[in-house]
Structure 1
Amino acid sequence: MKISVELTFSPLQDDFEQPIIRFIQKLRASGLIVQENPLSTQVYGDYAKVMGVLTTEIEEALELVERGLMYVKIVKSDRHDYVPFF
């Protein structure tokens, strides 16, 4: 089953940039399709592969910050090639 996941990582501390950069770099290195915009990061692929990578990387990202939020949305379909039609 293919999925699309939208992630927003929000460290609740003054020094927030490095944990976010590291998290995104680890996702890029995973071999999954990763797309970014100023507000979130999207990851696309097979459910088992995506969730395996996210389980590891989310845990590591949260361990690197004192306090933080990770917002996760999952859609059952691979939407990486979505193009607005209007």
Structure 2
Amino acid sequence: MTDKSQQEQNTESAIKVRKVTDVHSNWSSQGPLQDGKFSYQLILDNGAEEALVMPTAQDAKALRDFFQDADSVYWDTENEVLIFGKIK
């Protein structure tokens, strides 16, 4: 590996907080008469990284509202925490 590519790799691994630039939602069936499961795929820094959040149905609704109402959203990759900017 060249010094430059090693430096780039070190820089990428040093980033602990990334901007959520897109969110994809999903619901999957768990079988007849069973509650389904929700998930949000977080696209970070335009695809530099991705994260998956699997909330309860109640939390999924709250997160949807926060995603919609926040002027920016960040993901702390080390602590797995969503950080919402100013809420409208």
**TM-score scaled by structure 2?**
0.29
Q: Answer 1 or 2: higher relative contact order, Cα 8 Å, separation at least 6.
A: 1
